[in-house]
Amino acid sequence: MNKDKEKKMAKNTAKTVTRTAALERTISYAEKVRLMVIEVLREETGRELTAKARFNGQTFDWEQHNADFRSDYADWSLEQLLEAARKFYGLKNLDAVKERRAAHKQQRAERIAQAS
């Protein structure tokens, strides 16, 4: 077989890459909201457990907490997450969760600014 035929056969048998439009590769707004609530709960829980560990002279592993929390609550519905936010942190609705998220972001930005 000559080299040109070999190249053509290799091209034909190579994996065909299909292009997907950018918006089709993103998650829905509802899923983004659900993930935001998970992240607020993760942050609030981590802060609480960090304080508890500090009080008891222990250390707290944020990386392990983050991985475990996301795994533990990945399948919860938005309604379940909002109920947990209300029950454990007094966040009565989605607007309260959004405000808490904004506060977390502001605190993080202030920590970064102080560190530099």
Asked if pLDDT for residue 9 goes beyond 60, the answer is no
Amino acid identity for residue 66 in this structure: N
Residue range 47-92, pLDDT digits in tens: 999 999 999 999 999 999 999 999 999 999 999 999 999 999 999 9
**Cα 39 to Cα 31: distance, rounded to the nearest angstrom:** 12
pTM: 0.77
Asked whether the beta carbons of 49 and 65 are under 8 A apart, the reply is yes
